[in-house]
């Protein structure tokens, strides 16, 4: 097995708050790993550290065998690590297609009028194609010309996923992609994640619904108070005493 992501003794402290405090885990290439734990346990901060949105207090992160510490968020993204956010971050004045294009390589540049015109046409075509493919993948290609604010919440979430997919990621970080979705939509997104896995995309999924994570994930990492309290095969891991206490015991 080849590791795609290696997090080694990661610490992210905000002043006295030890949001992540010595976390280590590995995500194998082509696998779907669930990152679970109660609210405030450090999951989003871990994903923020992997995408270089927060400063590492200590430890190291490697993606595809390359240490990513010291690289900027845009360099990490361009190296094939894409993500979605817990709160939807779509731009209301752009169409669904343009929002998805933002995730493609050079996507931000091609939407700027000042982008070099001799490069713009080709880059724009590439970004448009990648965005349309991603929108088809998540089932909202027919809404490409609509503004995201006109869409129901579940569809906005899909556009958020499409924006990440438009970058054709090797490693996809998903921060609660089904939050607020109906049970039927959750099943559909679960199917989508499994199909991405079948295509070889490695995924790290933050999700509260233990039913969903045990259904789709190959491996679970459970956090509490900034530390990993259990990890392993999903079903036995959710039955672990410490995990049950963290989820239901307080």
- List residues near ligand ADP by CB under 6 A: 14, 17, 19, 37, 39-45
Do residues 161 and 192 make contact, with C-beta atoms less than 8 angstroms apart?
Answer: yes
Do residues 212 and 186 make contact, with C-beta atoms less than 8 angstroms apart?
Answer: yes
Kindly state the smallest distance separating residue 205's Cβ from ligand ADP, in Å. 13
Kindly state the smallest distance separating residue 35's Cβ from ligand ADP, in Å. 8
Whole-number Å distance between alpha carbons of 203 and 33: 6
Cα atoms in the Cβ-side hemisphere of radius 13 Å centred on 170 = 14
C-beta closer to ligand ADP: residue 41 or 231: 41
Kindly state the smallest distance separating residue 31's Cβ from ligand ADP, in Å. 21
C-beta closer to ligand ADP: residue 40 or 80: 40
Kindly state the smallest distance separating residue 72's Cβ from ligand ADP, in Å. 18
DSSP 64: T
Q: Give me the helices (H) in 94-249, please.
A: 96-101, 107-110, 117-137, 153-165, 183-198, 210-216, 234-239, 241-248
C-beta closer to ligand ADP: residue 45 or 124: 45
Do residues 156 and 138 make contact, with C-beta atoms less than 8 angstroms apart?
Answer: no
C-beta closer to ligand ADP: residue 76 or 102: 76
C-beta closer to ligand ADP: residue 48 or 99: 48
Kindly state the smallest distance separating residue 175's Cβ from ligand ADP, in Å. 8
C-beta closer to ligand ADP: residue 73 or 111: 73
Kindly state the smallest distance separating residue 210's Cβ from ligand ADP, in Å. 14
Whole-number Å distance between alpha carbons of 211 and 178: 12
Backbone angles phi, psi at 184, to 5 degrees: -65, -40
DSSP result, 5-59: EEEEEEEEEETTEEEEEEEEEEEETT-EEEEE-STTSSHHHHHHHHTTSS--SEE
């Amino acid at each position: 097995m080849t590791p795609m992501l290696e997090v080694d003794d990661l610490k992210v402290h905000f002043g006295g708050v030890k949001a992540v405090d010595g976390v280590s885990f590995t995500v194998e290439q082509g696998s779907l790993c669930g990152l679970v734990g109660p609210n405030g346990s450090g999951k989003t901060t871990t994903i923020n550290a992997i995408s270089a949105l927060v400063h590492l207090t200590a430890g190291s992160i490697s993606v595809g065998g390359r240490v990513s510490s010291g690289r900027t968020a845009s360099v990490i993204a361009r190296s094939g690590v894409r993500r979605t956010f817990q709160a939807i971050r779509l731009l209301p004045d752009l169409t669904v297609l343009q929002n998805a294009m933002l995730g493609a390589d050079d996507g931000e540049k091609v939407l700027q009028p000042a982008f070099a015109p001799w490069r713009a046409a080709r880059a724009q075509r590439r970004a448009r194609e990648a965005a349309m493919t991603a929108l088809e993948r998540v089932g909202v290609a027919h809404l490409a010309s609509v503004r995201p604010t006109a869409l129901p919440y579940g569809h906005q979430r899909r556009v958020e996923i499409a924006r990440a997919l438009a970058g054709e990621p090797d490693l996809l970080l998903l921060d609660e992609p089904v939050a607020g979705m109906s049970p039927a939509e959750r099943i559909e997104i679960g199917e989508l994640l499994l199909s991405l896995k079948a295509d070889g995309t490695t995924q790290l999924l933050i999700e509260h619904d233990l039913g969903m994570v045990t259904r789709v994930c190959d491996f679970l990492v459970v956090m509490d108070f900034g530390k990993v309290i259990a990890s392993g095969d999903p079903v036995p891991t959710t039955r672990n005493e410490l995990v049950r206490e963290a989820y239901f015991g307080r």
